[in-house]
Structure 1
Amino acid sequence: MTSSPTRRTMMVSLVGALGLAATACTASDDGAPEAGGGEEAAAGFPLTLTDCDAEVVLPAAPERVVLLDSAPVTTLDGLGVLDRVVARAGSFPEGYYDADLAGRLEAIPVLSEDIDTSGHLQISQEVVIAQRPDLVLGLPDGVTREGMRAAGAEVLMPRSYCGGLDQRATFTMLFAEITAHGAVFDRTDRAEVLVGTLQERIDTVASLSPAARTAAVLYPSVGGGPLYAYGALSMATAQLDALGIQNVFADTAQRVFESGTEPLLASDPDLLIVLHQGTVPVDELLGEVLGDGRLASLRAARDGAVLPLLFNFTEPASPLIVDGLERIGDWLSEREQER
């Protein structure tokens, strides 16, 4: 596929906007081509990325990938490189995927499905190293960049998990994430097509005019733990912005933060979107939010305007958040038709 200069310029700009500026070096200091294993290095490699605060150098497109986060699945699938994943760990609810993708994911060996009450993966670094990866996607507690690098693997994280963001989230962050992965896996053309397709879907949902005007996006800790809310730096805000709905916590310059019930009661949003990992029944999940009268007096609770949504449909930036946007849009449309 041949793309226009404008589109190519946009894609390069998106990588820089995400903080994943990539540089390639294919020649040695004396001008001779670099070679690895007796072969000339592939065009675009070695590739240097800035991931969070770390410099990551990839000598070639990764061939053995370990997934410690479910979010990249649809990005890898969209780029046509899911077959490079040799193992996975975490929660991968079938609700994210169509039957074909779910089947291919099921065939990938599972290292751990141990998720704590806050939704964090529990796994030892030694288990990951035993897979001999050259790239690890995700960085849960107990796994370090230094430890993986010593074993011959680099680590990449979703940009929104890195911290240090200083502006309201937009879908540009999603496009930049895809563009960066396209460079990593030497699939820049596939990345460009994927970005274009997602933009068209976003534009379609954005044409809706829902009656609701305010919403809050929450994550309850199962077992009576803290209640978390999502602010300006979360992709939840980008989703609500696309629909013309105000996130009641959009003035909070954080991605996610612990919230008491008082701010929610004071804002009394039209809608509640409750994120979860799919590890507990939905009824139990909603009981964590609305039970014991904590938030039962909210207008959204009284009106039944509460949508449970699997976590990766909103966070972090991946093609799944466009699926999530469509689900929110469909839910709103159905509610308005019932009125």
Structure 2
Amino acid sequence: MATTGSRTRAATLAVAVAIGLTGCGASEVVEAERPAATGEGRTEYPLTLENCGQEVTIESAPARVVSLDQNSTEILLSLGLEDRVVGTASWTDPVLDSLAKANEDVPRLADDAPTYEVLLGADPDFVTASFGRHYNEGGVVERERLEETGIGSYLSPTDCDNGQSINGGGTRTAPLTTDALYQEIRELAEIFDVADRGARLVADLQERAAAATEGVDFEGRTVMFWFADTKTPYVAGGLGSASLLATTTGMENVFKSEADDWPAVGWESVVEADPDILVLGDLQRDRFPGDLLDDKVEFLAQDELTSTLDAVDQERFIALHGAEMNPSIRFVDGLEKIQTWWSANKDEL
């Protein structure tokens, strides 16, 4: 039976979808129907948006967009915009199966961040990013430089707090919510004149999230989210997207006092925290030691410190892709995997 806490969380999510819209799955390309030229839902240009401390004006729907992150790319593909995506970069995981066909002809500019020259070689008229480090000095390109060359840019609201990019050097002052992700979807849909598709995608994510959390309550069991690196592990702080997965399902993040989204910590502090459950990132890339799930599990079992953890001895592991722990449409996939694990293990917790 669901506890009061789990019923409240599920009800909160359910209210968000009470608008009665039904869309396709977050991992499916939204059908390309468009409203009539004079009908409701068409974008009126020029469109001006406030985007993480910058005013962005779009004169017409972009025709050639480069997405600098997997999260942004999968939103664009889910909105049925693959014919306009002329480049993508910075991937932690394979594309969602149901977006694979849409992604087939999208050029991969780089597995990580591309150079400015490679970006320009794709001849974009618009650039999107999930993480503001790409727009920093020393990153791919500063937004001001793009503007000077007539190229528009957009940064995900999930990486923004008080007009500053979190990943670009700012500090998160309040917990991330799904509202920021839904804002990103709606704004990108408006920019590309497919607002109806954005509405359907948001509605479906809300519906799936409500279903995935219905009755799920870990009743305060402690958890650590380990993204990458065996030397000084990057773990989830208390205000970012991974910690949102914890609070939504009734878990307590042992590093909730950390303000950074992914602070690097020492293994001594992990052992001292002694989490009940370990959420392990299964990253399909080769950037840090222990990106892969199997490498993480092997390290935990063999290291003289981590092997003493009860969660390691009992193998209380939940495996999530990196994109499912980042602020993306895959947060729902993460919730569904957590629900599956909880259903199979709740009696032993």
- TM-score normalised by length of structure 1: 0.77
8 Å CA contact 1:220–1:289 kept in 2: the answer is: no
User: Unpaired segments of 5 or more residues in structure 2?
Assistant: 1-14, 20-41, 160-164, 287-291
Match of 1:105 in 2: 103
**Change in CA separation of 1:186 and 1:291 when aligned onto 2, cut-off 3 Å:** farther
AA in 1 matched with 2:333: D
Aligned residue in 2 for 1:220: 228
TM-score scaled by length of structure 2: 0.75
Residue matched to 1:57? 57
Q: What's the counterpart of residue 246 of structure 1?
A: 252
Within the alignment, does 1:321 sit opposite 2:331 as a pair? yes
1:273 pairs with 2:272: no
1:228-307 correspondence to structure 2 within 5 Å: 228-280=234-286, 281-288=292-299, 291-307=302-318
- Report SS of the residue matched to 2:306: coil
Paired letter, 1:295: T
- The alignment partner of 1:269 has SS state of coil
Partner of 1:309: 320
Report deviation, 1:77.
Answer: 2.8
Equivalent runs, 1:58-207 vs 2, <5 Å:
58-91=58-91, 93-94=93-94, 96-98=95-97, 100-113=98-111, 121-138=112-129, 140=134, 141-161=139-159, 162-163=165-166, 164-207=171-214
Q: What is the number of residues matched between the two proteins?
A: 290
CA deviation string 1:189-224 (max 9, x = no partner):
222222221111111121133456121112222xx5
In 2 relative to 1, CA 93–254 (structure 1 residues): closer, same or farther, beyond 3 Å? Answer: closer
Q: How far did residue 183 of structure 1 move?
A: 2.0
Higher relative contact order (CA closer than 8 Å, sequence separation 6+): 2
Q: Deviations over 1:42-88 (max 9, x none)?
A: 84222222322333221112111112100023322332223210122
What SS does the corresponding residue of 2:303 show, helix, strand or coil?
helix
- Once residues 217 and 116 of structure 2 are traced to their aligned partners in structure 1, the CA distance between those partners, rounded to angstroms, is 46
Identity %: 29
Q: Which amino acid aligns with 1:72?
A: S
Deviation, 1:127, is 0.8
| Preserved CA contact (<8 Å) 1:79 1:190 | yes
The SS at the match of 1:87 is strand
Q: Distance in 1 between matches of 2:216 and 2:85?
A: 40
Counterpart CA distance in 2 for 1:60 and 1:286 is 49
- 1:334 aligns to 2:341 (yes or no): no
> Structure 2 vs 1, CA of residues 89 and 211 (structure 1 numbering), >3 Å: closer, same or farther?
closer
Q: Tell me the C-alpha RMSD between the 2 structures.
A: 2.7
Structure 1: which 5+ runs fail to align? Answer: 1-5, 11-41, 114-120
Please list the CA deviations of residues 243-285 of structure 1 after superposition, one character each: whole Å capped at 9, or x if unmatched: 1111122232332212122332222111111224312543224
Whether contact under 8 Å (1:208, 1:329) holds in the other structure is no
